[in-house]
Structure 1
Amino acid sequence: MLYFVLFVVIMEMIQMKKHLLLLASKTGRSCLVREVLEIRRINSAHSNSVQHLTCLAKWTAHKKSKITGSIVTQLSSQHSKLVEMNRQYMRALIDIVLLLSRQGIAFRGHNETSSSLNQGNFKEICNLLAKYNPDFDSKYCEKTSYSSHRIQDELIEISSNYVRNIIINEIENAVSCSIMCDEARCFKEEQMSLCVRYCKDLNVTERFLGFIDCSQNQNAETLTQSIFEYLKIWGLNSFIPIVAQSYDGANVMSGRFNGVQARVKEKYPYAIYTHCMAHRLNLVVIDMCKLIKETRSVFNTLKALYTHFSKPSINKKYNDIQVKLGINKLSITKISDMRWNCRYKNCEAVKTNYKAIIIALEEEIENDGDKDVNEAIGILHVLKIKNLSFIYLYCIKY
């Protein structure tokens, strides 16, 4: 545009110079006057022409663009702001996904319509951010807010793949690894959790790698094939040797000839099998609780305490006594052979709330108001008269 304007100005100057040279070659005053008038007429006609006015407008706009920037620059700046706003919005959604995943909280609600009082954790957090962040609110209120179930699943998948790739890179740098598998049933699906252990900066690192769907069959051959296929998908089956493996004591996993550990050894001869130490310790504790009289008495009493204080009216009185005594509330849970830490937690709860338990049982016996008094008398007798067994409650922690 600038070159075009300069071209027009130069052509005008050349035209004017031609007229002046023509005037110099002529004689007489009248001729000079006529030529000057002719030049004025030509200039006036040019100044009012569409081409001149268009060029003048473009020239004015060009000078103004030196200050405000060109249209292309302005459009590019606005586009950059829009891109940055969109990125900030997606970062907020990803942070919400990471928060809910890290805390193990459900994403969705039963009713996620705009009239619902509880739209689910994901959308409720979005509503909270929109309340205090105008930029987030402007994007979240649009028709395409990227908060649908499909987008949530995609964000979860992308985040998990990103973390998994970091773990895989660390395993590749460690050269070798070991695997650990255990059953992880989910409703009607049979799953197997796969964890890996490897050395990072001379420190042993343990990471969860993923769940393997093995609903089709749970024999040793299928489970082994599922493990190898999963490792192959993530590039760990070809050149990363497995030097150790650990499972529970089930025959399908630990079988010496046809178990999973034997089939893994066929491909990785140096993959030493170790029966999971946590499973072993749990089996030892269970057998000890059944065979030794004192420990059997302790844990039978813990079961009785759980059953007795599960009744709402008795539990309410027990909680009131805890508040009066200023004792930290620790609930007594059901003892299960599969929940490894339930025994320790129950022992700790009885140890901390021993005084409150005694007072609650004594008040219940004194009031003699319901049919559970005989049960309370029996528990109190064990706690007070045969309390030598409960020395275990103080020793287990140490």
Structure 2
Amino acid sequence: MTDENSKSKMDNRNYLEKLFKCAYFMIRKKWALTENFEDFVRFVGQVGCQEIQRYLENDPKITYLSSKSVSDILKALSDAVEEKELESLRNAPYFALLADESTDEANRTQFALLALWPSEGKFEGRYLGLINVKKTDAQSLLEAIQQFFLAKDLDFEKVRFTAFDGTNTMSGEISGLQRRVRHISPHCLYINCRNHRLALCLKHLMPTYSSLKDVDSVLLSLWKLFEHSLRRLTMFQDLQEMYGMKSYALVKAVSTRWLSHEKACSRVIDRYGTIIDILDEIYDEKKQPEVYGIRFCLTQQNTVAMMMLLCDVLKPLSHLSVYLQGEYVNFTHIGTHVRHATDTLHDIIQKLQGPQIDPELKFSKIQEFF
């Protein structure tokens, strides 16, 4: 009887081990776990995993494949992975704290925390968690971080670097969050997020240049037109394939993240003729004023010219931004990359002012369009 119980426990343990491995595999592949876990486990058993198949055949009622069991497995995996990362962070002599506040689709204010710390000769960067906050003043955000650190058993005094965005709440030198952090960890250095400053440039320029407003408005309206209608998106993709082009979707442009305009503008310019044709086809169906308005804006020379100009100007800045966001940035090379971006921009100005526009620039296509 004892041998049978031992064998039953061993079979159960082996089966659960396989379930955890299946769940971990699906998570790494970013597959939907709750809906697909049972089908995937049964498939693995059918194609040759004897431990799974034997267990399911011997005890078909207790399979640990219910939605509750899947949630428990997911929670156990999450706790195990988190504890491993936190233990490494607790043992680090110091770490950098990165934080940013945003609002989700349910209009809830959330505060995301990330950390970067040295471990075994290299730096580990990990997402720590998301905090739901009711107030977004500096003191409330500091208290939220303190409570989070207390729950995770993290030493606040080990924070040696902080990186936040450029708002007064975060970066204020007198009462901002970065200043309040230094009251707890006096040796902490604050780094203002340069990418956030870059990203806000377009937003500050829009009141001065009306053509920038027009570009931002038409890009967003065009993206919404296809994003919120599967039928329209399918029509657009089918038309691209009919013209012998690779099927692409439009890119969303966000005014507070102006570097996104480079990809959005490039996509519109590269598929300009197709976009005009599909707008004509959509408008002919129901004569919607919104569609007519988008098409009208896209046929204005100033608007299209600004799109082309943004494609050329934002490209070197996007490369610089990607470098600054890299996992392992060599600070001794930052000056070189900044100078290269600056030189490239000056070179673009010279090419635009020449007697003939360089054909390598997107702006050179303006004469083909009009």
Q: Deviations over 1:89-141 (max 9, x none)?
A: 22232234324444555544xxxxxxxxxxx2333333433444453244345
Of 227, 231, 234 in structure 1, the residue corresponding to residue 145 of structure 2 is 227
Q: Runs of 5+ in structure 2 lacking a partner?
A: 317-370
Give the 5 Å matches for 1:14-53.
none
Q: Which whole-Å deviations, capped at 9, do the CAs of 1:49-94 have from their partners, x for residues lacking one?
A: xxxxxxxxxxxxxxxxxxxxxxx9xx75x66654443233222322
Which has the larger displacement, 83-92 or 339-348? 339-348
1:211 alignment partner in structure 2: 130
Distance 1:258 1:154, change over 3 A: farther
CA distance in structure 2 between the partners assigned to 1:197 and 1:267 by the alignment? 19
1:252 and 1:161, CA in 2 relative to 1: closer, same or farther beyond 3 A? same
User: Per the alignment, do residues 100 and 371 of structure 1 end up closer, same or farther by CA in structure 2, a change over 3 Å counting?
Assistant: same
Q: Look up the SS of the partner of 2:62 in the other structure.
A: coil
Residues 244 and 324 of structure 1, relative CA distance in 2, 3 Å threshold: same
Equivalent of 1:170 in 80, 83, 88: 88
* Aligned position for 1:136: 52
- 2:272 alignment counterpart: 354
Which of 4, 20, 32 is equivalent to 1:94? 20
Q: What SS is found at the alignment partner of 1:261?
A: helix
- In structure 1, distance between residues paired with 2:277 and 2:299: 13
The answer to whether the 8 A contact 2:170-2:176 is kept is yes
Give the C-alpha shift of residue 177 in structure 1. Answer: 0.5
Cα deviation, residue 196, structure 1: 0.4
Within 2, Cα distance between the matches of 1:184 and 1:299? Answer: 21
The one-letter code of the counterpart of 1:163 is V
Q: Secondary structure at the match of 1:291?
A: coil
1:388 is matched by which residue type in structure 2? A
Matched residues in 2 for 1:368 and 1:147: separation? 49
Is residue 2:113 matched to residue 1:199? no
Is 1:298 matched with 2:215? yes
Written as runs of structure 1 = structure 2, the 5 A alignment for 1:154-165 is: 154-165=72-83
Contact 1:297 1:389 in 2 (8 A): no
Q: Which residue of 2 aligns with 1:388?
A: 305
AA at the equivalent of 2:13: R
Partner of 1:8: none
Q: Give the CA RMSD over aligned residues.
A: 3.8
- Does structure 1 retain, via aligned residues, the 8 Å contact 2:138–2:176? yes
Shift of 1:154: 3.5
Structure (1 or 2) with the larger CA radius of gyration: 1
Query: Could you tell me whether the CA contact under 8 Å between 2:166 and 2:192 is conserved in 1?
Result: yes
Q: CA-to-partner distance for each residue in 1:210-255, whole Å, 9 max, x for gaps?
A: 233445x5554343233223223333217x6111112234444334
Paired residue type of 1:253: M
Distance 1:166 1:297, change over 3 A: same
Please give the alpha-carbon distance, in whole angstroms, between the structure 2 residues aligned to 1:321 and 1:386: 24
Secondary structure of the equivalent of 1:328?
A: coil
Q: Secondary structure at the match of 1:139?
A: helix
**What are structure 1's unaligned runs of at least 5 residues?**
1-71, 109-119
- Structure-to-structure mapping, 1:311-326, within 5 angstroms: 315-326=233-244
CA distance in 2, matches of 1:315, 1:358: 14
SS at structure 1 position matched to 2:160: strand
> Structure 1 stretch 161-170 or stretch 311-320: which is displaced more?
311-320
What letter matches 1:135 in structure 2?
E
Supply the distance in 1 between the matched residues of 2:66 and 2:288 (Cα, whole angstroms).
Answer: 54
Q: Is the 8 A contact 2:112 2:131 kept in 1?
A: yes
Distance 1:173 1:357, change over 3 A: same
| Equivalent of residue 248 in structure 2, options 306, 325, 330 | 330
1:182 aligns with 2:100: yes
Q: TM-score, normalised by structure 2?
A: 0.67
Counterpart of 2:116 in structure 1: which amino acid? R
Counterpart in the other structure of 1:287: 204
Give the superposition deviation at 1:189: 5.8
CA drift of 1:380 comes to 4.9
Conserved? CA contact 2:240–2:246, under 8 Å: yes
User: Residues 394, 219 of structure 1: CA spacing in aligned structure 2 closer, same or farther, 3 A cutoff?
Assistant: closer
AA aligned opposite 1:285 = L
**Which structure exhibits the higher relative contact order, with contacts defined as CA atoms closer than 8 Å and separated by 6 or more residues?**
2
Check the 8 A contact 1:361/1:380 in 2, yes or no. no
Count of aligned pairs between the two proteins: 309
Counterpart in 2 of 1:125?
Answer: 40
CA contact (8 A) 1:308 1:375 kept: no
For 2:202, what is the secondary structure of its paired residue? helix
Deviation at 1:179, TM superposition (A): 0.8
Q: Which residue of 2 aligns with 1:264?
A: 181
CA pair 127-253 structure 1, distance change in 2 beyond 3 A: same
Q: Identity of paired residues, percent? A: 22
Which letter does structure 2 place at the counterpart of 1:136? Answer: I
Q: Give the letter for the 2:151 counterpart.
A: I
Q: Distance in 1 between the 2:68 and 2:278 partners?
A: 52
> How much has 1:267 moved relative to structure 2?
1.2
Report if the CA contact (8 A) 2:114-2:126 is conserved: yes
Residue 300 of structure 2 aligns to a residue whose secondary structure is: helix
After TM superposition, the structure 1 = structure 2 runs for residues 41-120 of structure 1, keeping only pairs within 5 Å, are: 76=3, 82-104=8-30, 106-108=32-34, 120=35
Q: Partners of 2:131 and 2:233 in 1: how far apart?
A: 42
Specify whether residues 183 and 369 from structure 1 end up closer, same or farther in structure 2 by C-alpha distance, changes over 3 A only: closer
